[in-house]
């Protein structure tokens, strides 16, 4: 295992120390491993909390800041954070108008956020929850009942964060989040496995001449393996399953995301391959992201996310956001 780490057991704790040093605008509680804004939002606004296993940076900690999340709860690598930590985050950021939990659909996350919501309710905090399940690759998976939550989470955190920032109430923010989940889909692929520090070896074996289509963000199995193919063919295998599941004609926000180990020159090349395929199907790309936004440690590969958009979503997209991972308008 070749990694820039000390003891594998300390990776998250030590990485959070670096986050705290790099970002004085964030506040890191090293005990609960919760990242919040150093300056909380105004009283009376809905707070937005997300979290899950680490290893997907910049998600979620890199999306804490004005216009996006109020708190991110960092579990150990690929491990759900415990309910008490989610509750601590929820309590820390509640400004009296309720808290939205954004949960990627993995069984551990769903259970732990549910329990945290119950604990928060006992303290009089209103919690709304949205479960993100945008991955069209597989119906059920190793860690999931139903579809996995992947790239759409990034777009949802941005859009819902903007709605909360402008003062929409909890019911409106929850409804917006549900609507986004209903109209966004993702599909990913891997050229290589990731290596979890505590495991010390690749999560799976992928021969030099093979790739995995429909990979999960924890290296969990996708749809199938096949021989390495050109980018044009990979693009087809990402676009087609999304379009088979979503009538995406019309305006859209599109993200071509890197899994962590693929350089930007390749991600732009892939973006150049997916755009004509989407446009041929009537998708009008109104906004886009190309880069590493939800990763799987050092995995080489990419994923595509397509979210149908309308004027309201584009307005929320363009609203100011000031986080380490996404920043504009400020």
Q: In sequence order, what DSSP letters do the residues of 56-73 get, joined into one string?
A: STTTTGGGBSBTSBSEEE
237 binds its own copies (CB under 8 A): no
Cα(34)–Cα(75) distance, rounded to whole angstroms?
Answer: 9
Of 15-23, 79-87, 152-160, 163-171, which segment contacts its own copies by CB under 8 A?
A: 15-23
218: annotated active-site residue: yes
DSSP state of 211: E
Query: Among residues 23, 30, 56, 101, which one is catalytic?
Result: 56
The number of C-alpha atoms within 13 Å of 315 and in the hemisphere containing its C-beta is 6
35 binds its own copies (CB under 8 A): no
Of 78-86, 147-155, 168-176, 321-329, which segment contacts its own copies by CB under 8 A?
A: 321-329
58 binds its own copies (CB under 8 A): yes
At its nearest, how many Å lie between its own copies and the CB of residue 288?
Answer: 5
Do the beta carbons of residue 104 and residue 141 sit within 8 Å?
no
At its nearest, how many Å lie between its own copies and the CB of residue 125?
Answer: 30
56: annotated active-site residue: yes
Nearer to its own copies, 144 or 323 (CB): 323
184 binds its own copies (CB under 8 A): no
How many whole angstroms from its chain centre is CA 234?
22
188 binds its own copies (CB under 8 A): no
Residue window 136-155: x/- pattern of binding to its own copies, with contact defined by CB under 8 A: --------------------
Question: What is the number of helices (H) and of strands (E) in the chain?
Answer: 8, 14
Cα(99)–Cα(34) distance, rounded to whole angstroms?
Answer: 15
Of 9-17, 88-96, 119-127, 239-247, which segment contacts its own copies by CB under 8 A?
A: 9-17
Question: Binder to its own copies among 9, 18, 123, 166 (CB under 8 A)?
Answer: 18
Three-state DSSP class for residue 141 = strand
How far CA 133 is from CA of 153, 180, 271, in Å, comes to: 9, 11, 23
At its nearest, how many Å lie between its own copies and the CB of residue 266?
Answer: 4
Cα(261)–Cα(264) distance, rounded to whole angstroms?
Answer: 10
Residue window 260-299: x/- pattern of binding to its own copies, with contact defined by CB under 8 A: xxxxxxxxxxxxxx-x---------x--x-x-x--x-xx-
Query: What is the per-residue burial (b if ≥16 Cβ within 10 Å, else e) of 207-218?
Result: eeeebbbbbbbb
User: Could you count the other beta carbons within 10 Å of the beta carbon of residue 64?
Assistant: 32
* Binding site residues, its own copies, CB under 8 A: 2-7, 11-12, 14-19, 21-22, 54-55, 57-58, 62, 77, 191-192, 208, 211, 228, 230-232, 234, 256, 260-273, 275, 285, 288, 290, 292, 295, 297-298, 300-302, 327-330
Catalytic residues, by residue number, are: 56, 218
């Amino acid at each position: 295992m070749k990694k820039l780490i000390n003891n594998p057991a300390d990776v998250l704790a030590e990485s959070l120390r670096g986050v705290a040093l790099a970002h004085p605008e964030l506040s890191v509680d090293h005990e609960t491993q919760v990242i919040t804004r150093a300056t909380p939002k105004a009283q009376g606004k809905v707070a937005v909390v997300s979290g899950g296993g680490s290893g997907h940076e910049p998600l979620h900690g890199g999306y804490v800041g004005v216009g996006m999340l109020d708190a991110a709860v960092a579990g150990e690598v690929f491990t759900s954070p415990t309910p008490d930590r989610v509750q601590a985050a929820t309590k820390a950021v509640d400004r009296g108008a309720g808290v939205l939990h954004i949960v990627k659909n993995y069984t551990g996350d769903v259970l732990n956020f549910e329990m945290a919501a119950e604990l928060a309710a006992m303290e009089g905090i209103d919690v709304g929850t949205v479960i993100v399940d945008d991955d069209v690759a597989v119906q059920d998976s190793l860690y999931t009942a139903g579809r996995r939550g992947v790239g759409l989470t990034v777009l949802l955190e941005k859009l819902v964060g903007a709605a909360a920032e402008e003062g929409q109430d909890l019911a409106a923010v929850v409804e917006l989040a549900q609507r986004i989940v209903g109209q966004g889909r993702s599909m990913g692929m891997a050229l290589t496995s990731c290596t979890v520090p505590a495991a010390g070896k690749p999560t799976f074996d992928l021969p030099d001449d093979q790739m995995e289509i429909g990979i999960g963000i924890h290296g969990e199995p996708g749809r199938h393996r096949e021989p390495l193919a050109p980018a044009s063919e990979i693009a087809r295998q990402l676009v087609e399953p999304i379009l088979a599941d979503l009538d995406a004609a019309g305006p859209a926000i599109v993200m071509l995301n890197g899994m962590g180990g693929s350089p930007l020159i390749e991600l732009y090349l892939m973006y150049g391959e997916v755009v004509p395929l989407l446009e041929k199907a009537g998708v009008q790309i109104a906004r886009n992201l190309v880069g590493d936004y939800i990763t799987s440690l050092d995995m080489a590969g990419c994923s595509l996310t397509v979210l149908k958009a309308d004027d309201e979503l584009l307005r929320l997209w363009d609203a100011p956001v000031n986080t380490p991972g996404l920043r504009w308008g400020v």
